[in-house]
Amino acid sequence: MITHLPAMTTLTLPTISTSLHRRRHNLRPLIFTSQLSTTSSNKPPVIIIGAGLSGLAAATKLTSVNTPFILLESSDAVGGRVRTDVVDGFLLDRGFQIFITAYPEAQKLLDYNALNLQTFYSGAKVYYNNTFHTVADPLRHFSDSLSTLVNPIGTIFDKLLVAVTRIKVLVKSDEEIFRSEEVSTNDLLMKIGFSESMIDRFFRPFFGGIFFDRELETTSRLFEFVFKCLAVGTNTLPANGISAIPQQLAGKLPAGSVLLNCKVRSVNVGGDSVANVELENGDVLRGENGVILAVEEPEAVRLLGRKMDGDLKEPRKTVCLYFSAEMDEIPFKDPVLYINGSGEGIVNNMFFATNVAPSYGPAGKGLVSVSLIGLFEDVSDEDLIAEVVKELSDWFGGSMVGSWRHLRTYRIGFAQPNQCPPTDLMKDPRLGPGLYMCGDYLTSATFDGALVSGRRAVEALLKDEALTQV
């Protein structure tokens, strides 16, 4: 399904025939005739740049309508930000990532059974005042939720407001949510009537960990969408790591349609309104049937050599640290997310990944995942590890945490697009004639938003193509 290319190569694959070869004939651009789909059409392929979730969703949509395409990916694997590394037998997702089963677009595209999804506890344990307090979903863990009513993570009235907010988002369609009036998530929570203690001790670390935004400046539209998905779905991890999601999408594409290690230098629209894609090796692909930019917004700006509409906001950043442990060095065995409600320290949330999915570690070994908000650029890896160990020693005990072995630290400069107001979560994917874009910055900064944006880009391309043929 996927073709690996050397980093600097010409595209001379059995599945792609070239009517002109630049290096042989000293001519450009190259015109490709694709044999990558089941269609008998001789149309030039749509060129998709980027094999993250949005690019894979675009390719999936094109496959469903028998439209030829080539999908160019600069790295050595599909997935974009949704990647998993194998280190000493452990599965390390690149950053804190959780898959919510209620994502509507994902339900249409993915085979959940094949992903073998492993489920989190529906709730969280909040570290506050030197101990842990359970916040539980009353519909799934009724008995646990009774103790929640009297714990210091918000008032009884706060807990009632959670139920009321849940009902309000459930009666809204996703389109209504995305077009609703917006404020910051923090302002929305205050407007609803949540107490400062509930916001600081629960919402700030819990949703701050999802948005990588502890200040909760993220749009209320995204909060309501995620809150709705959490209300009807469950938090999960694929048994084989978060990268199993893009790998499943790529596995359903036509053979040879995904070209890895294929870096794009620039995208330019010529005088004939056809987009030309220049590769780093100097080859040029002529996008006669359309080009879809499925890359992060800063990369799209670089490729086009111009700004998009609106300001380019500073992206959300995170650091994720992994530790290995013996099973008797894991203090709790429940598959729960631990969040920092103390208002102190640098750890925002953490969990024992092997409690959720035992397949994330070798037999008899535990995997610890710790998430920080921000990049901590002025702090060395060694100092960051030491601070995290010191802080978690207060949570679980120094003798236990001190025995954990550091595996890897991920500093992720672009964890999510910044979606603080004002936002447009239903942006038009058209950039110009024959040129389209997709990515979670055009919709919601979620797995689902990326998948939706890929489909919408193709729908716009097909609609424009139909209009030109009338």
DSSP 421-446: SS--TT---EEETTEEE-STTSS-SS
Mean pLDDT of 108-124: 97
**How far apart are the C-alpha atoms of 45 and 72, rounded to whole Å?**
12
Q: Does the structure show a pLDDT above 50 at 91? A: yes
pLDDT at position 270 is: 81
∠ CA(402), CA(211), CA(105), 5° rounding? 120
Backbone angles phi, psi at 306, to 5 degrees: -155, 160
Is 296 in contact with 412 (CB distance < 8 Å)?
A: no
The H-or-E segment that residue 265 falls in is strand 264-269
Confidence of residue 147 (pLDDT cuts 50, 70, 90): confident
Q: Which of 15-24, 69-78, 85-94 has the lowest mean pLDDT?
A: 15-24
pLDDT tens-digit readout, 198-212: 999 999 999 999 999
**How far apart are the C-alpha atoms of 228 and 206, rounded to whole Å?**
15
Confidence of residue 110 (pLDDT cuts 50, 70, 90): very high
pLDDT at position 41 is: 53
Residues in a beta bridge with 268: 276
Mean pLDDT of 128-136: 94
Other CB atoms within 10 A of residue 200 CB: 18
pLDDT at position 273 is: 83
Q: Does the structure show a pLDDT above 50 at 157? A: yes
Confidence of residue 54 (pLDDT cuts 50, 70, 90): very high
Closest by CA position to 266, among listed 420, 27, 72? 72
Q: What is the DSSP letter of 384?
A: H
Mean pLDDT of 340-358: 98
pLDDT at position 2 is: 59
**How far apart are the C-alpha atoms of 462 and 63, rounded to whole Å?**
13
Q: Does the structure show a pLDDT above 90 at 150? A: no
Structure tokens at 122: 């529906």
**How far apart are the C-alpha atoms of 262 and 50, rounded to whole Å?**
10
Structure tokens at 17: 């025939």
pLDDT tens-digit readout, 27-41: 333 333 333 333 345
Residue tagged 């950039």 (tokens): 431
Residues in a beta bridge with 380: none
Q: Does the structure show a pLDDT above 70 at 275? A: yes
Confidence of residue 463 (pLDDT cuts 50, 70, 90): very high
End-to-end CA distance of the chain: 35
Region of 197 please: left (phi>0), alpha (psi -120 to 50) or beta.
alpha
**The pairing of beta strand 123-128 with beta strand 131-136:** antiparallel
Confidence of residue 11 (pLDDT cuts 50, 70, 90): very low
Mean pLDDT of 223-246: 97
The H-or-E segment that residue 243 falls in is none
